[in-house]
Amino acid sequence: MKFLIGMILLLLGELGLAQTRNLDYYLSFARSNSPLLKDYKNQFETNRVDSQLIKANYLLQVNGISANSYAPIIGGFGYDYAITNGGQVSALVQANQTFVSKNNLATQLKSVHLQGQSITNGSAIAEKDLKKTITSQYIAVYGDVVIMNFTKETLSLLQREETILKNLTQNNVYRQTDYLSFYVSLQQQQLTYKQSEIQFKNDYAMLNYLCGIVDTAASPVADPDLHLSILPGATATPLYRQYVIDSLKLINDRSLLDYNYKPKLNVFADAGFNSSFTYQGYKNFGTSVGLNLVVPIYDGKQRQLKYRKIDIGERTRSNYRDFYLRQYDQQIAQLRQQLQATESLIDEIDGQIKYSSTLIEVNGKLLEKGDIRITDFILAINTYLNARYLLNQNYISRLQIINQINYWESI
């Protein structure tokens, strides 16, 4: 692994002089620009307002009420005077107060509180999803940088050898066909380098797009430097926490349903002017008080049906929770197995690259003396290129697997 890390750093040596941006730079932009995270923040503020609204609903309510009508009788035609009194004028100030038990109010407030917990947890899950997505794209861009610099390094090597081979061909050390075969390999590497540049720019543009960064210029990126996090148990993750919150919400919904079938008492009082002007209307200033009591008796079995809906919701929640618990350990084990296999393959490729690199160095010296066939030299270069490309691909795969494992990290 030390040899691998040394080579990766060497490949990025040229970009080291330029201004590099690390993973935290893009994650910071992604969090600040994410409309989903802003939405969750606004939902949480709304949730706090909902809690205040519930409390305000049981405070004294005062309203101004005015009801005015006129029912004339013309030529003996009109509404029955005994019903309308010819009209009515009223201007009242009415006060209402609804009374509920402390436990009832506490249950309603708990419903809002649990909804707030659900919003907070949902925001945490959304942030983890965003982090995983941005990190994955960042790793892809970093992989493009590694491959781009590797192809550039190889191109420089071939260009240097091409100059030597051209002189040797002119001196009849090698045949013209040998030179052309080598030159074709050089052109192919040039195309590979241009293709790697295009891929880097495309992936970099997508990274900016996902982060909400308006910038068309491509800049080098630093090694993501990912390390395996210490994972919690399945029950300590935000995903499982949501199942717990949902369970508490269903229990609270049952309590709310029970309180809806408790007697309700509303007390009211009003004062003002209320008159039909049939007799001494100027004396119709007054006041009144009263109360309304509602006692549920029968609702067509709606209560039992609502209980059934809550029970169905609990079964659905339990099924999802149990499936999650079964899958969690299996998924982590699979990812760790993939990581171990990838790291083992990287070590094997390291050994092959050391051998191929030495072979190219020796063949390069033989080429300068004209003591090696061009086909053998090209074969050695292709073997080296394939090994290095495979190394780069597995190194990036290793980072992607670590990113997937770290997704399950507790917050």
pLDDT tens digits, 335-368: 999 999 999 998 988 888 888 878 777 877 777 7
Domain boundary pick from 278, 295, 312: 295
d(CA 218, CA 103): 60
Tell me what pLDDT residue 16 has: 42
d(CA 227, CA 222): 15
Tell me what pLDDT residue 10 has: 47
Q: What is the largest CA-CA distance in the chain?
A: 134
Q: What average pLDDT does this structure show over 186-197? A: 90
- Given a cut of 70, whether residue 2 has pLDDT beyond it is no
Tell me what pLDDT residue 5 has: 44
Indicate if 230 and 312 belong to the same structural domain: yes
Q: Which helix (H) or strand (E) holds 158?
A: helix 102-170
Where does the pLDDT of residue 19 fall: very low under 50, low under 70, confident under 90, or very high at 90 and above?
low
Where does the pLDDT of residue 410 fall: very low under 50, low under 70, confident under 90, or very high at 90 and above?
low
Tell me what pLDDT residue 205 has: 93
Q: What average pLDDT does this structure show over 309-317? A: 95
Indicate if 134 and 272 belong to the same structural domain: no
Tell me what pLDDT residue 275 has: 81
Q: Which helix (H) or strand (E) holds 292?
A: strand 285-294
Could you report the per-residue pLDDT of 98-118, keeping only the tens digit for each?
A: 888 889 989 999 999 999 999
d(CA 208, CA 214): 7
Indicate if 215 and 125 belong to the same structural domain: yes
Which strand ranges, in their side-by-side order, compose the sheet holding 285-294? 61-70, 87-99, 264-275, 285-294
Contact between 41 and 123 under an 8 Å Cβ cutoff? The reply is yes
Q: 186 vs 143, 151, 158, 312, 384, CA distance in Å?
A: 23, 11, 6, 68, 14
d(CA 150, CA 144): 10
Which residues constitute the domain of residue 274?
62-99+263-295
Indicate if 142 and 128 belong to the same structural domain: yes
- Given a cut of 70, whether residue 9 has pLDDT beyond it is no
Number of domains the chain contains: 2
- Given a cut of 50, whether residue 12 has pLDDT beyond it is no
Tell me what pLDDT residue 408 has: 83
Q: Is 174 exposed, middle or buried (0-12, 13-18, 19+ CB in 10 A)?
A: buried
CATH assignment of the domain containing 343: 1.20.1600.10
Sign of CA dihedral 81, 84, 90, 92: positive
Q: Is residue 411 part of a domain?
A: no
Q: What average pLDDT does this structure show over 51-71? A: 89
Tell me what pLDDT residue 387 has: 87
Tell me, yes or no, if the pTM score tops 0.85: no
| Tokens 């040899």 belong to residue | 3
- Given a cut of 70, whether residue 3 has pLDDT beyond it is no
Q: What average pLDDT does this structure show over 25-41? A: 94
Indicate if 148 and 195 belong to the same structural domain: yes
Q: What is the mean pLDDT of the chain?
A: 86
Domain boundary pick from 295, 316, 340: 295
- Given a cut of 70, whether residue 17 has pLDDT beyond it is no
Q: 302 vs 257, 299, 306, 308, CA distance in Å?
A: 10, 6, 6, 10
Q: Is residue 334 part of a domain?
A: yes
Where does the pLDDT of residue 83 fall: very low under 50, low under 70, confident under 90, or very high at 90 and above?
confident
Of 376, 351, 353, give the one whose Cα is nearest residue 364.
Answer: 376
Indicate if 277 and 228 belong to the same structural domain: no
